[in-house]
């Protein structure tokens, strides 16, 4: 998918779709089939009221979203994607009160499935927080996203 | 013991934000999480976001780990989540944990999520938690 359309897709999800709007992830880069997003720290997504970092579940949601996004980057046309399996290794806690970086790469699309690896780092990029691999079904049950995105292009 | 679990749900902003309710702790931890508009992942089929489902499974597993190991419960090390059916928006999700093993250093817990019946799970997770040794203090 071309980059302008992908940015439009990101904007559409961030503005209109509950979980994506709630996370408000910021697009950092789209290069060589890879995506980098920033998950902003929000108190409601933290582990503790005082000195809490982003909860592992919040990182999981951010990684799942980023995986879907990088798959779109590797498709000709946007289509519904369903997560089939997500494996997450939580290596160390997210630093208290800090945003995190999420990187994702779709390394294979085969027979209607997309295979993605992703990881979360602290905002400096020095600490690996979480490493993940996922399998996603393309063209899953439900209408394609194409009509909705086309409608939003006008 | 139940007080410890309820305190965790109330004290963790992430858990409190999800509105998860603890139904029972015996024989296993069972919870419900009501639907919120902020949970939608796909706007056209109104399904729960896969990452939110993962978070609910992880929280349920955490409560089971607290039930088993109390203050010795360490951080979540690993999660392997299978998405078995669409988790439909507009409906709450039930989750139930099952303790696989509590060893000296590791706690293994399986969790299933369902909407209509436990015989039709929408997702399951295999979770691995660390166990803290006495005197070992680290953030969860």
Q: What is the pLDDT of residues A48-81, one digit of tens each?
A: 888 899 999 999 999 999 999 999 889 888 888 8
For position B14, which CATH number holds?
A: 3.10.129.10
Query: Looking at residue A142, what is its pLDDT?
Result: 54
Query: Looking at residue A146, what is its pLDDT?
Result: 44
Minimum-distance CB partner of A19 among B38, B45, B139 = B38
In a 3-state reduction of DSSP, which class is residue B77?
strand
- In angstroms, what separates the C-alpha of B124 from chain A's closest C-alpha? 10
The C-alpha atoms of residue B124 and residue A125 are separated, in whole angstroms, by 32
DSSP B71: G
Write out the residue range of the structural domain in which residue B61 sits. 2-131
Per-residue pLDDT, averaged over A28-39, amounts to 91
Do residues B50 and A135 make contact, with C-beta atoms less than 8 angstroms apart?
Answer: no
Answer yes or no: is B137 within a domain.
no
Q: Please indicate whether, in this complex, the C-beta atoms of B13 and A80 are within 8 angstroms of each other.
A: no
Looking up tokens 């992880």 gives B58
Which CATH number is correct for A3-153, 3.10.450.350, 3.40.50.970, 3.90.1640.30, 3.10.129.10?
Answer: 3.10.129.10
Q: Residues 6 or more apart from B111 whose CB is under 8 A from it?
A: B57, B58, B60, B61, B64, B95, B96, B97, B98, B124, B125, B127
User: How much is the ipTM here?
Assistant: 0.91
Contact list in B for residue A45 (CB cut-off 8 A) is 13-14, 17
Q: Please indicate whether, in this complex, the C-beta atoms of A18 and B40 are within 8 angstroms of each other.
A: yes
Answer yes or no: is B17 within a domain.
yes
Answer yes or no: is B59 within a domain.
yes
Report pTM: 0.91
pLDDT digit string (tens) for chain B, length 140 residues: 688 899 899 889 999 999 999 999 999 999 999 999 889 887 777 889 999 999 999 999 999 999 999 989 999 999 999 999 999 999 999 999 999 999 999 999 999 999 999 999 999 999 999 998 765 555 44
Contact list in A for residue B44 (CB cut-off 8 A) is 80, 142-143, 145, 148
Query: Looking at residue A141, what is its pLDDT?
Result: 59
Q: Please indicate whether, in this complex, the C-beta atoms of A16 and B52 are within 8 angstroms of each other.
A: no
Q: Residue B36, class by beta-carbon neighbours within 10 Å (0-12 exposed, 13-18 middle, 19+ buried)?
A: middle
% of residues, chain A, pLDDT over 70? 91
- In angstroms, what separates the C-alpha of A126 from chain B's closest C-alpha? 19
Backbone torsions φ then ψ of A123, nearest 5 degrees: -70, -25
Q: Please indicate whether, in this complex, the C-beta atoms of A61 and B45 are within 8 angstroms of each other.
A: no
Query: Looking at residue A39, what is its pLDDT?
Result: 96
Distances (CA, A) of B133 to B73, B136, B137: 9, 5, 9
Q: Please indicate whether, in this complex, the C-beta atoms of B42 and A142 are within 8 angstroms of each other.
A: yes
Answer yes or no: is B106 within a domain.
yes
Residues A89-119 have pLDDT tens digits of 999 999 999 999 999 999 999 999 999 999 9
Per-residue pLDDT, averaged over A18-35, amounts to 88
User: Which among A21, A83, A114 is the top mutation candidate for probing chain B, defined by the most B β-carbons within 10 Å of its own β-carbon?
Assistant: A83
Answer yes or no: is B136 within a domain.
no
Query: Looking at residue A153, what is its pLDDT?
Result: 42
In a 13 Å sphere around the CA of A89, the CA atoms on its Cβ side amount to 8
Tokens of A61: 């949601």
In total, the C-beta contacts within 8 angstroms joining chain A to chain B are 141
Contact list in B for residue A44 (CB cut-off 8 A) is 13-14, 16-17
Domain count, chain B: 1
% of residues, chain A, pLDDT over 90? 62
């Amino acid at each position: 998918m071309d980059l302008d359309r992908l940015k439009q897709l990101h904007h559409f999800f961030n503005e209109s779709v509950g979980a994506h709007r709630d996370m408000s992830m910021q697009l950092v880069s789209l290069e060589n089939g890879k995506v980098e997003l920033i998950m902003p720290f929000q108190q409601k997504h933290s582990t503790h009221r005082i000195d809490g970092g982003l909860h592992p579940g919040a990182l999981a949601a951010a990684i799942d979203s980023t995986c879907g996004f990088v798959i779109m980057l590797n498709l000709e046309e946007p289509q519904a994607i369903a997560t089939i399996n997500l494996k997450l290794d939580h290596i160390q806690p997210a630093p208290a009160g800090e945003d995190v970086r999420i990187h994702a790469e779709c390394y294979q699309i085969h027979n209607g499935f997309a295979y993605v690896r992703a990881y979360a780092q602290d905002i400096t990029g020095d600490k690996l927080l979480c490493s993940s691999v996922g399998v996603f079904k393309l063209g899953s049950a439900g209408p394609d996203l194409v009509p909705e995105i086309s409608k939003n292009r006008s | 013991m139940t007080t410890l679990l309820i305190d965790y749900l109330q004290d963790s902003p992430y858990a409190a934000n999800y509105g998860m309710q603890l139904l029972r702790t015996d024989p296993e931890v069972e919870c419900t999480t009501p639907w919120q508009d902020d949970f939608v992942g796909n706007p056209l089929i109104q399904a729960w976001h896969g990452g939110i489902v993962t978070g609910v499974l992880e929280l349920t597993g955490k409560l089971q780990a607290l039930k088993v190991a109390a203050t010795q419960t360490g951080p979540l090390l690993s999660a392997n989540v299978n998405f078995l059916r669409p988790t439909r928006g507009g409906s709450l999700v039930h989750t139930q944990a099952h303790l696989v093993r509590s060893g000296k250093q590791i706690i293994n817990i399986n969790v299933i999520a369902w909407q209509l019946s436990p015989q039709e799970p929408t997702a399951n997770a295999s979770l691995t938690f660390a166990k803290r040794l006495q005197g070992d203090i680290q953030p969860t």
